[in-house]
Amino acid sequence: MKKKLLIGSLILLLLFGCRPHEHAWTDATCAEPKTCRRCGQTEGEAPGHDWTDATCTEPKTCRRCGLTVGEALGHDWAEATCTEPKTCQRCGQTEGEALGHDYFGATCTSSGVCARCGEASEPLGHDWMDANCILPKTCRHCGLTEGSALGHRIENNVCTECGYTVYEPYRGTGNAVLQNVQTDGAICRIHLIHRAESDFTVWAYDADGKADLLVCTRESYDGSVLLFGKAPFTFEIFSRTDWSLTVEQLDMMTDDAISGSGDAITDLCLLTSGIFRITHAGEDAFAVWLYTTDGETLLVHEQGVASAECAVTVPHGSLAFFAVRADGAWTIERIGDPA
């Protein structure tokens, strides 16, 4: 009987059990040890999770099973500086670009300073403009000059070097109309002279018919006004006595101090930004405009005697000139650098 029971147990073991060394093992996981799929037998222990620390973009994560805990840290940004873009202090990721230095105070020969970080800049260095008919070799930044101007070479009323034109004056007595007056596209002023104490009025009409009142006075007049519009021009003159009208192309000048009496349009100059003192010794309205590549700026508008200081800004490399309305002596002088 015992022999039969032993034989039956062996048969069951063969049918339902695992022979030695024939387990069908599954690999251990973070939470389960190595386990036989047939009989459930285990071997060893569960290894546990293999955690990687949380990063800016990923939470704490198990390398084996991918389980996560908590949330990503998020970037710890340091703001952009003059030399570095916005940067995460944990992972080094960047956004945007460095701000770049914001230098101020530099001149051709002295250093500037960055308003953000205090770093010193190199001097600007001179930006030289070659000598021309009127100006010697000149720095566009600071106005420093070297050598001498070349001088105009006038042939048939035109400079062969720069195209500067010398116009013949128109003269007359009483009312007149001057037609088809050409200006060759340059910036021009109209110089008007009327010596008598009587009515004197001059209108200008451009090629499109736009009208501009140049002068209207009952006094003697010797002054210049700016000519606006497109050539050719027509001038209508109302006068009882002698008069002269001359088209003058603006030339170049180098003076830092300009003076005159009455209405005037100055010549062109390579002006630099700074503080200017403007004075007037007359009794009536006094106004001064500055013209640059940025357009027209009214600097002074006073009545009678005046003395004013004003900041003048000139774009780098721009030529400039002043338009003055006055009935007495006036001066324009640069007295200091920009604040």
End-of-domain residue from the set 194, 216, 249: 249
pLDDT for 188-241, tens place per residue? 999 999 999 999 999 999 999 999 999 999 999 999 999 999 999 999 999 999
Q: What is the pLDDT of residue 170?
A: 97
* Cα–Cα distance list, 130 to 136, 138, 149 (Å): 7, 7, 10
In a domain? residue 115: no
CA 147 from chain center: how many Å?
32
**Which residues neighbour 329 within 8 Å (Cβ) at sequence distance 6 or greater?**
259, 260, 261, 280, 281, 282
pLDDT for 62-106, tens place per residue? 888 888 888 888 899 999 999 899 999 999 899 999 998 988 888
Q: What is the pLDDT of residue 301?
A: 97
Q: What is the pLDDT of residue 3?
A: 52
pLDDT at residue 50 tops 50: yes
Q: Give the lowest-confidence range in 48-52, 174-178, 236-240, 279-283.
A: 48-52
pLDDT at residue 333 tops 50: yes
* Cα–Cα distance list, 196 to 173, 176, 191, 201, 267 (Å): 11, 17, 16, 13, 27
Q: How confident is the model at residue 53 (pLDDT cuts 50, 70, 90)?
A: confident
End-of-domain residue from the set 249, 269, 298: 249
How many other C-beta atoms lie within 10 A of the C-beta of residue 141?
Answer: 20
Number of domains comprising the chain: 3
In a domain? residue 140: yes
In a domain? residue 21: no
CA 289 from chain center: how many Å?
23
In a domain? residue 277: yes
d(CA 125, CA 135): 20
**CATH of residue 206:** 2.60.120.340
State whether 187 and 259 are in the same domain. no
Token pair of 119, please?
């770093």
In a domain? residue 194: yes
Task: Read off the pTM.
Answer: 0.63
State whether 268 and 244 are in the same domain. no
Token pair of 304, please?
């009678």
d(CA 337, CA 106): 12
State whether 270 and 321 are in the same domain. yes
The strands making up 77-78's β-sheet, listed across from edge to edge, are 77-78, 86-88, 94-95
State whether 199 and 137 are in the same domain. no
- Asked whether the beta carbons of 220 and 171 are under 8 A apart, the reply is no
Higher-pLDDT residue of 16, 173: 173
Q: How confident is the model at residue 8 (pLDDT cuts 50, 70, 90)?
A: low
Strand 252-253 and strand 268-269: the pairing is parallel
Is the backbone peptide bond immediately before 47 cis, with ω within 30 degrees of 0? no
State whether 302 and 316 are in the same domain. yes
How many other C-beta atoms lie within 10 A of the C-beta of residue 297?
Answer: 15
pLDDT at residue 299 tops 90: yes
State whether 212 and 172 are in the same domain. yes
State whether 273 and 209 are in the same domain. no
**Which residues neighbour 191 within 8 Å (Cβ) at sequence distance 6 or greater?**
169, 223, 224, 244, 245, 246, 248
State whether 305 and 276 are in the same domain. yes
d(CA 225, CA 184): 18
d(CA 108, CA 124): 4
State whether 313 and 238 are in the same domain. no
State whether 217 and 291 are in the same domain. no
Q: What is the pLDDT of residue 4?
A: 55
pLDDT at residue 43 tops 90: no
When the pLDDT of each residue in the chain is averaged and rounded to a whole number, the result is: 88
pLDDT for 152-192, tens place per residue? 898 988 888 888 888 999 999 999 999 999 887 789 999 99
pLDDT for 306-332, tens place per residue? 999 999 999 887 889 999 999 999 999
pLDDT at residue 10 tops 70: no
Q: How confident is the model at residue 54 (pLDDT cuts 50, 70, 90)?
A: confident
State whether 231 and 279 are in the same domain. no
In a domain? residue 217: yes
State whether 179 and 245 are in the same domain. yes
End-of-domain residue from the set 249, 272, 294: 249
Q: What is the pLDDT of residue 13?
A: 47
E strand spans, 229-313: 233-239, 242-249, 252-253, 257-261, 264-265, 268-269, 274-280, 285-292, 295-303, 306-312
In a domain? residue 223: yes
In a domain? residue 36: no
User: Which secondary structure element, helix H or strand E, spans residue 3, and what is its range?
Assistant: helix 2-16
Could you report how far apart the first and last alpha carbons of the chain are, in Å? 121
Its domain, for residue 240, covers 165-249
DSSP code for 63: T
